[in-house]
Structure 1
Amino acid sequence: MSHYLHPAEYLPHDTPMLLLEDVINVTDDTTICEVTVTETGVLGPFIDDRGSLPGWYALELMAQTVGVWSGWHRKQHGQDSISLGMVLGARELVCAAGILPANARLTITVKLLMQDERFGSFECAISVGNETLATGRINTFQPTTEELTTLFHQGSTA
């Protein structure tokens, strides 16, 4: 049995936008999460008419796995609050088949390439067994509380 908590304990996401089912491993510079592409699972609302997940969801699966990495490390340092992070962009994001296939157990792996106080870069892959289905590099940003307040309250005082 895994000694990791459910992904929801590390992410600021709720159903239906929580797209991961299991945290498999977290180290100083890597995280591995899994999810199964089924109509009855967490990906159910996003499945196409063939039972597959459209390939553009690869970015969000990778980003949420980065979020698990960040959330796990925050908990290890005694910070229980979940912090909102942002994807600045993705480079060389490729999902060759254009889909993540029906009934596949997806393994999402992220590896830290670079990090400072607020920015990070991660090499990411989604695979089924030994077959890699999607790859890319995700660049992330950790906004301050003040920046988040400004972002989410812009225009709400008019």
Structure 2
Amino acid sequence: MQSAGRLQRLVVDGTVNLFVEGDFDLGGNTSLEISKGAMLNLYVSGKVRLSAGSELALGAEDFMRQDSNGLIRPAVSIYSAYQQAGNGVTIGGSNDTYAAIYAPGSDVVISGSGALYGGLRAQNVVISGAGSLEHVPELADYEVSADGKAGNVLSFANEWIETR
């Protein structure tokens, strides 16, 4: 999926599970907005690129939300299955992203004036230029299993991030 200037604004209402076989590229000043009470779970087999003035924004201030099963989850979760050489997830350009990103098999780069507000799980994280990462404290106790339900496989608690 590549927006690259062909899509100005996309609004998510309700709970959306989006499966992308291949790459997901949100760029070209595209705004992906998550309405109040809505949730987006994005599953990508290829690379994820969030750049070029795009924005993955929440329509409300609440980062954590209750899903239809009563579980408290991030409003936006990005699951990357990418495990090849190179960066599996790139946040760059002038991009503000509000999400919990799970990319345990690949590297993540935040560069330019790209910013991630939320949480990040990756093999390696590189932050350069004016790139920034701001952890959301509500993720400290959040855990998710491989099937997407609450469990104890992936968590954001007690993790160290090394920047270079």
The alignment's TM-score, normalised by the length of structure 1, stands at: 0.25
Q: Which has the higher contact order (CA 8 A, sep 6+)?
A: 1
Greater helix content: 1
The alignment's TM-score, normalised by the length of structure 2, stands at: 0.24
Larger Rg: 1
Greater strand content: 2
